[in-house]
Amino acid sequence: MQRAGMYGLPRTAKGTVLGISGTARKTAIALSLAAALGLSGCAPGSGSAAPAEAPTGPVATDPAKLGKVHLKVLDTFAGGVDAPWMKSVVAAFHRKYPNITIDRTSQPWGDVMQELPLKLKADDPPDIVPANNGWQSLGELVQGHLVLNLDRYADAYGWRKHIPESILRQHEFSTDGKKMGTGAMFGTPVARASLIEVYYNRHLMEKIGAKVPTTLAAFEKDLAKAKSAGITPIAMGNSDKAGMTEPLFSAMNSYGSQPKISNLVYSQGDVPLSEAGFPEAVDTVHDWSKKGYFTHDYQGTPMQDATQDFVDGKGLFIFNYSGSLPVTKEQGSDFGSFFLPRAHGGDPVATAGSTTNFSISAKSKHPDAAAAFLNFAAGHEAARLAVDHGTMPMLAPDLKAPKGNPMFADDVANAAEITAHDSSVPYLDWTTPTLLDTMSTRMQDMLAGRISPADVVDDVQEDVDGFRAKLK
C-alpha cells in the first residue's frame, strides 16, 4: 500500500536520498487504511449500486485540439524532491500543450486518503486524483463508481503495451469492484518507481572482504562474516511493527515465484501461502533473528533510528524502500543497493510499484485532457525529469544515472532491471484489508518468542481465507 514515508506518517526526510524525499510511497509499514483512517472494511462489491459502465465514443488523443481546458489535479507530492518533480512535469506538459492549464493541489498522503471519497462525491471534484492501489482505496472508489474506467484510453494510448503487465495489474479491477488485478484499468502509474531493496555500506563490505552477493547463500555468508567482525549485519528497528515487512517481503520474493505471489495477492486461483514462499520467508527472518543478525534490541528500536544508524555506518545492510535513506548526494559513494537474490537462482523478483497512481474522477468534465496528462506523467519525459531531480525513474529502462553518484546509479539500474524483466510483485498486504496488521502483529509476537513461525503462517492464512470467502 502506498504510505506516507517509512514510518506510517506523512513526513519529509531530514536529508534526501540523492534528492529523494521520504513522502508518499508504496510501502507496507503503517496500519491498514481501514484501521488508520477509518475507511470502510466491508467486503468488495458489497454495495448495492449497479456496476459502472465504461464511457463510449472516440478519444481525442491530440490535446492541442481540445481547446482551452482547465484541469484540477490533486496529488500527494507535498515535500522533498516530490514537489519539484511534479512541478516540472506539470510545467513540461503545459509547455507542450499551452491550451491546457493545470491547477495543482498537493496535500499530505494521509489527508488525501481520508478525504478522497468525499472529494470525489462533491459537485466539483478534482479531475485527477491519486487513488491508492488495493481494496482499501481504489477498490472502494471503483465500487462507488467514483473513478473512471480507463480502458478506452488504454487502447488509444497503448498503455497495455507500454506498461509492464506486473505493474499494469496493480491498477486493474473488475467493474463491479469484486476482483483486483484483472479487468478494467481504473488508474495509471507515474514514471517514478518505489521498490524494496537491500542497501549496503561499501566500506564495511570491503572491510569483511565481501562483494555484492549474487546468491542467497552468499548473502547469508556475509551476515555471518559481519557478525564475526563485530558489525551489525542488518540494521533493523521494529518497535512500531514497521521494520520487519521489508526483509519479510524480500525473503518471500527470494523463495516464491512471481506468478504465485501475484495471484495470491490478487485472490486469483486460491493460491495458499505455502505455495508462494511465505513460510520459508517467515522461517528465514526468524533464523536471522535467532543468529543475532539484526540490530541489538531491535524490538525496542524505532525503524527511523535504525535507518539513521545505518547511514552513520553502524550496519552492513538494511532492507528499505527506494528513496528512504536520509543521506545527501555527497554520501552516494558510501552506499549501494541490490535486490535480495533468488534462493534458487534466476532474475530477481522485487516488491515494486509506482510512487503513486492517478485516476480520473467519474465526474470530470474533461476526461480526454485528464487522460492526456496521465499518459504524459507515465511517459519517457516524466521519467527523464525524475532522473534530473535525482529520483528513481520507472517505465524507462534505457535511462541511466549521471556519473559520480554510485548509489543512485544502483537504484536506477535496479528499476530498469525490474521494468525490463517485468519481474515486480504487488505488496503482500494488498491481499486483504486487514492483512498488514495481522501480519505485522504476529511477526512481532514470533520474534518476541510468544508464538512459532508456523503460528504466523496459520494466522495470516486464516486472514486470507476469511477475506476470500467474502469475495465469493
For residue 271, what is the domain's CATH number?
3.40.190.10
Q: Which segment of 15-29, 113-127, 173-187, 262-276 scores lowest on mean pLDDT?
A: 15-29
The percent of residues above 90 in pLDDT, for the chain, comes to 80
Do 126 and 28 belong together in one domain? yes
The stretch 198-227 carries a mean pLDDT of 98
Do 125 and 23 belong together in one domain? yes
Q: Facing residues of 2 across strands?
A: 26
Do 323 and 221 belong together in one domain? yes
Higher pLDDT, 217 or 16: 217
Looking at residue 39, its pLDDT comes to 36
Cell (9 digits) for 430: 494488498
Q: What are the distances in angstroms from CA 315 to CA 54, 198, 208, 286, 309? A: 52, 12, 12, 19, 7
Element counts in the chain: helices (H) and strands (E) = 18, 14
Q: Judge whether residue 147 has pLDDT over 60.
A: yes
Contact 396, 431 (CB under 8 A): no
The stretch 201-210 carries a mean pLDDT of 98
Higher pLDDT, 327 or 451: 451
Q: Judge whether residue 40 has pLDDT over 70.
A: no
Looking at residue 324, its pLDDT comes to 87
Tell me the pLDDT tens digit for each residue of 316-331: 999 999 988 998 888 9
Do 329 and 408 belong together in one domain? no
Q: How many structural domains comprise the chain? A: 2
Pairing state of beta strands 100-106 and 69-75? Answer: parallel
Q: What are the distances in angstroms from CA 456 to CA 90, 266, 441, 462? A: 46, 21, 9, 10
- Rounded distance between C-alpha atoms, residue 92 and residue 3, angstroms: 27
**Domain termination site, one of 385, 400, 420:** 420
Looking at residue 314, its pLDDT comes to 96
Do 173 and 212 belong together in one domain? no
Q: Judge whether residue 21 has pLDDT over 60.
A: no
The percent of residues above 70 in pLDDT, for the chain, comes to 88
Looking at residue 472, its pLDDT comes to 82
The stretch 222-241 carries a mean pLDDT of 97
Looking at residue 50, its pLDDT comes to 47
Do 400 and 441 belong together in one domain? no
The mean pLDDT value of the chain amounts to 89
The stretch 440-446 carries a mean pLDDT of 97
Site of grid cell 528500536: 301
The stretch 422-434 carries a mean pLDDT of 93
- Rounded distance between C-alpha atoms, residue 317 and residue 455, angstroms: 28
Do 342 and 376 belong together in one domain? no
Looking at residue 154, its pLDDT comes to 97
Q: Spell out the SS3 assignment of 386-439.
A: HHHCCCCECCCCCCCCCCCCHHHHHHHHHHHHHHHHCCEECCHHHHCCCHHHHH
Q: Which segment of 20-29, 81-90, 240-249, 256-265 scores lowest on mean pLDDT?
A: 20-29
Q: What are the distances in angstroms from CA 400 to CA 2, 324, 405, 417? A: 26, 20, 11, 12
- Rounded distance between C-alpha atoms, residue 337 and residue 200, angstroms: 6
Do 87 and 151 belong together in one domain? yes
Q: Judge whether residue 272 has pLDDT over 60.
A: yes
Residue ranges making up the domain that contains 169: 2-193+355-420
pLDDT-derived band at 217, boundaries 50, 70, 90: very high
Tell me the pLDDT tens digit for each residue of 130-139: 998 888 789 8
Looking at residue 54, its pLDDT comes to 54
Do 68 and 27 belong together in one domain? yes
Looking at residue 338, its pLDDT comes to 97
Q: Judge whether residue 48 has pLDDT over 60.
A: no
Do 207 and 94 belong together in one domain? no
The stretch 273-301 carries a mean pLDDT of 98
Do 220 and 232 belong together in one domain? yes
Do 178 and 312 belong together in one domain? no
**Domain termination site, one of 383, 399, 420:** 420
Looking at residue 259, its pLDDT comes to 97
Q: Judge whether residue 148 has pLDDT over 80.
A: yes
**Domain termination site, one of 397, 420, 443:** 420
- Rounded distance between C-alpha atoms, residue 22 and residue 40, angstroms: 27
